[in-house]
Structure 1
């Protein structure tokens, strides 16, 4: 399951390098091993940043990877995964301010991941939430997205078509979801926009430039 990434309400509007000038980022994933991978990747990237000086701004991807590997990380990734759900795994003091959490965001009561956010990205994740929690869980997820967004915020989702659901429950992939799959009434192609609109999120843009459609919903 991919991470839910959310930007808080003090995000800047201009893009600098590859960080989009985000003030901070929160990453959530149900799989602690994937959270650890994300933390390791970010520790490497954060270690390559040249800090700002009195004469210049910080520079992203300034130090080569070989330099970090030879001389060590500026920010060491943690190696011990916390066992409890929704525990904070990493908070780095410099750019970008990133926190990773392990937990099921749909059912989590962790206040550190409640927002408000300017942007929520849900990429390659909604299908698994739907299969895990059923139609009621999907509605809960959409409701939580709406409540976690600041007014004027955006929800960006990757539309995983119904055919991908059918592939997901095949033997060798995730057949344990078959019973749940058979009970689903909502379909991504026909139901999602209406469900999101019920929670105040309105489709404002779409793109088919990638293999799967990317849809952007706006909270008025």
Structure 2
């Protein structure tokens, strides 16, 4: 999360098309007024992210359980930015954990909630083999994911796509080929105007 968020800020803030006095005069490249909110459930990860944050006035990290207490944090952040929604929401390596802990309905609720907060979503669903590995690791540590046995959604790329297309009024604008070491696809969805 730390490096990805910092690199994302650098990329967007220097490559986003902005209208500034610098650009209008043609004397140098402008820097976009970009603000990023990074959230995670893990407080240790948030502390590390805050300590490594090179852009403290534009990148904010918050420890939040999106499924139970994100509404106030997100509403307050958007209000501070004088915004009603995010330009884009990135969801990397989170869908499996939401799915395992909150079930099919929880994953669906998460996707619908995200779709209300933005016009563009970039999401990386974990494949089913990652679920089995996570369940094995949890069992070895003495825990379990009680919802795992009841999960009906198992073709995560197509299940997530169906929710965005059929329930959120989004269209898929890109589907990246698995290019990571983990073989995951990155999906891009845009709200239908």
TM-score w.r.t. the length of structure 2 is 0.71
Does residue 28 of structure 2 align to residue 25 of structure 1?
A: no
Q: Runs of 4 or more off by more than 2 Å in structure 1?
A: 11-15, 109-112, 171-179
Moved more, 202-211 or 174-183: 174-183
Q: Retained in 2: the 8 A contact 1:200–1:219? A: yes
Unaligned runs of 5+ in 2: 19-30, 79-84
CA shift, 1:101, in A, is: 1.1
The C-alpha deviation readout for 1:54-108, integer Å capped at 9, x for no partner, is xxxxxxxxxxxxxxxxxxxxxxxxxxxxxxxxxxxxxx33xxx111111111222
CA contact (8 A) 2:64 2:70 kept: no
Relative to total residues, which structure has the larger strand share, 1 or 2? 1
Map of 1:13 onto structure 2? 16
C-alpha displacement of 1:178: 3.7
Cα deviation code 1:133-177 (max 9, x no counterpart): 11111111011101111xxx2111112111111111004567634
Q: Aligned in 2, Cα 1:120/1:175: closer, same or farther, shift over 3 Å?
A: farther
Q: Distance in 2 between matches of 1:40 and 1:180?
A: 35
Kindly indicate whether the alpha-carbon contact (under 8 Å) linking 1:168 and 1:174 is maintained by their aligned counterparts in 2: no
Secondary structure at 1:185's aligned position in 2? coil
| Matched positions, count | 159
Instruction: Quote the residue 1:72 is aligned against.
Output: none
**How much does 1:132 deviate?**
1.1
Look up the SS of the partner of 1:212 in the other structure.
coil
Pair 1:37–1:204, CA change in 2 (3 A): same
CA distance in 1, matches of 2:70, 2:114: 14
Tell me which protein shows more helix as a share of its residues: 2
How many Å separate the matches in 2 of 1:185 and 1:148?
26
Residues in 1 aligned to 2:117 and 2:123: alpha-carbon distance in whole angstroms: 15
Partner of residue 150 from structure 2, selected from 168, 183, 192: 183
Which residue does the alignment assign to 1:77? none
TM-superposed CA distance for 1:41, in Å, is: 1.3
Query: Counterpart in 1 of 2:122?
Result: 156
8 Å CA contact retained: 2:101, 2:145: no
1:146 equivalent in alignment to 2:107: no
Deviations 1:153-210 (A, max 9, x none): 2111112111111111004567634421111111203311111121122211011232
Task: Tell me what 2:61 maps to.
Answer: 100
Greater RCO between the two (CA within 8 Å, min separation 6)?
1
**Structure 1 unaligned spans of 5+:** 47-91
CA RMSD of aligned residues (A): 2.9
